[in-house]
Structures are given as C-alpha cells and as structure tokens.
Amino acid sequence: MPTALVAVEQSFLRSERVVDDSLAIRMLPFGAVVFVRLLKLRRIRDWLIGLSEKSNPGIWGGMLCRKRYIDEKVEASRNEIEAVVSLGAGLDSRLFRLPVLSGLPTWEIDQRENIEAKEKRLRTALGAIPANVKLVTVDFDRDDLGAILEAQGYSASKRTFFVWEAVTQYLTEQGVRATFAWLAKAEPGSRIAFTYVRKSFLTGKTLYGWESGYKRFVATKIWLFGMEPEDCAPLLDGYGWRVLEDVGYDELAARCIQPTGRQMLSTPVERMVYAEKI
C-alpha cells in the first residue's frame, strides 16, 4: 500500500507532490499498476483519497510525510555515514532512487517472501540488483539480526543510517528490544529514523477516528507493539541512543504538505523518531 500510494502521488504536478519517486510504480505487481494507472484520472483519485481519509483520517498524508521526512534525513546525513541498513524495507525504493546513496554500501532486510518479491521487481525495473546493495532475509522476532548481517558483509564499525519505517508495530516487544539490543552496538554517530504507533491506540483507549483501522490491525493482532512519546527517549537511552526528534504527523504535515497547497489531514496514531548513537 505505501508504495502504491507513492506511485499515485506521481500523478500530481511536481509542485504539488510530497514525494518524487518515478521508480515506485515499477516496484508494484501488475494489479497494483493497473490500479495506479486508473488513479491518474483526478476524479477517481480524489474520490479514493477522500474514501481512505474518511475511514482512517490522515493515513494518506501520514504515509507521504514519513517517507519525505526519512528521505530528507538520509540525504542530510550523507557526509556523516558510511552505510545504510533498511530494516523491513518492503517495496520501498529509497535506496535505489536517492542519488546521494549511489555507491554507498547498503543492506535491505525483510521477511523472505518480501525480499523475493523485491528482488524480482528490481531486476525487472533496473535490469540487475545494484552492486552496492544486498537483500537479506530476516525475521526480527526469531533471527539473530547481527549474525545474519555480519555474514552478509556488514560491520558495526561503520557509521550507519538505519531506516525502520512502519515496522515496530508488527513486532512483539521482545522483537523490538532485540533489535535495539543489536543497535546498541552501532558505531557512535550512527543515525536511525523509525516510526511507532501510539500505545493508547493499541489498547483502545483513544481511537483517533481510526475505528476501522483498529478493527483491521489491532483486533486481529496484526499490530502488536506501541508506545507513547514519553516512553521513547528512556527506551532509546537504555540502548545508547539519543532522541533528536520525536515528531507528530501534524508537524510533518505543516513541513511537507502545506507548502504544496494541498489540503490533507495528518494522523496522531503514528509518530516519527530521529535519533543518534552516542
């Protein structure tokens, strides 16, 4: 869904886009490509955006904002990092479309079925997997992430930018903490950008207008882990990371959407964190 949404975004005028990504549509399966092509018709596109915003207010703008935010942080850190690791990369094209990352050692990690689909799409879109990129199969809740990455040539001595976008909510707390225990070994000066879902939403205390999202993701036990802003800094501090920003999507919308002139909602269900290894 996030990659399809970014592909749809390309049908807007360049001045109206939150994210530029000509590769996104080439990462999608045939059915999704047809869907995206249909949404080039503004009337259908506006209807679908309105429908998604009605059922889960801010979901469309939130996904775009988090991608734009991470893109900007990765680009701004290019001269300070020596590698990039994308944890739970899905079909995201970031590591293949940002010119500043060309030639930089990168690792993309996800479950086997996602990595296999990603590899197939990349070979179709690009002709081959870029030599600087390694696609790695990992189950965050079960596998030894460090050992697997080390076997794939990654060294914790490299200042690394870690991208962990829209993943933590799908893991158990044990899986999240195990990943942070590995991240505790990262070289000082490394950076991470990751998202988390509000715990108050997972407990049902506050649904933020996302009743359908609660039924789809929480009641079915698809989303498992969440926390509140006051929990974030203490958690990261315990693993040697300092929070630089813990940002709500309303603030991201003001930064990323407002300049386009478009009127889009933001959602408080998810937040974005940017942190540095100390």
Give pLDDT tens digits for 164-173: 999 999 999 9
pLDDT digits (tens, 9 = 90+) for 119-161: 999 999 999 999 999 999 999 888 999 999 999 999 999 999 9
pLDDT at 95 over 90: yes
Query: Beta strand pairing status for 191-197 and 241-248?
Result: unpaired
How long a stretch of residues is the chain? 278
Q: Are 190 and 81 in contact (CB under 8 A)?
A: yes
CA separation (Å) from 170 to 51, 136, 176? Answer: 25, 19, 9
- H helices of 23-170, where? 30-38, 42-55, 59-76, 94-97, 112-126, 145-151
Measure CA 45 to chain center: 23
Q: Strand pairing of 83-87 and 160-164? A: parallel
Pairing mode of beta strands 191-197, 270-277 = antiparallel
Q: State the pLDDT confidence band at 263, using cuts at 50, 70 and 90.
A: confident
Looking at residues 93-106, what average pLDDT do you find? 93
Residue 241's alpha-carbon distances to 190, 198, 236, 244, in angstroms, are: 9, 20, 5, 9
Domains along the sequence of the chain with CATH: 56-277 (3.40.50.150)
pLDDT, one tens digit per residue, over 177-234 is 999 999 999 999 999 999 999 999 999 999 999 999 999 999 999 999 999 999 999 9
Q: Which is it for the CA torsion 101, 196, 170, 9, positive or negative?
A: negative
The reported pLDDT for the residue numbered 49 is 82
**pLDDT, tens digit, for every residue of 25-83?**
999 988 999 989 988 888 888 888 888 888 889 998 999 999 999 999 999 999 999 99
φ, ψ of residue 132 to 5 degrees: the values are -85, 0
Place of tokens 């630089």: 244
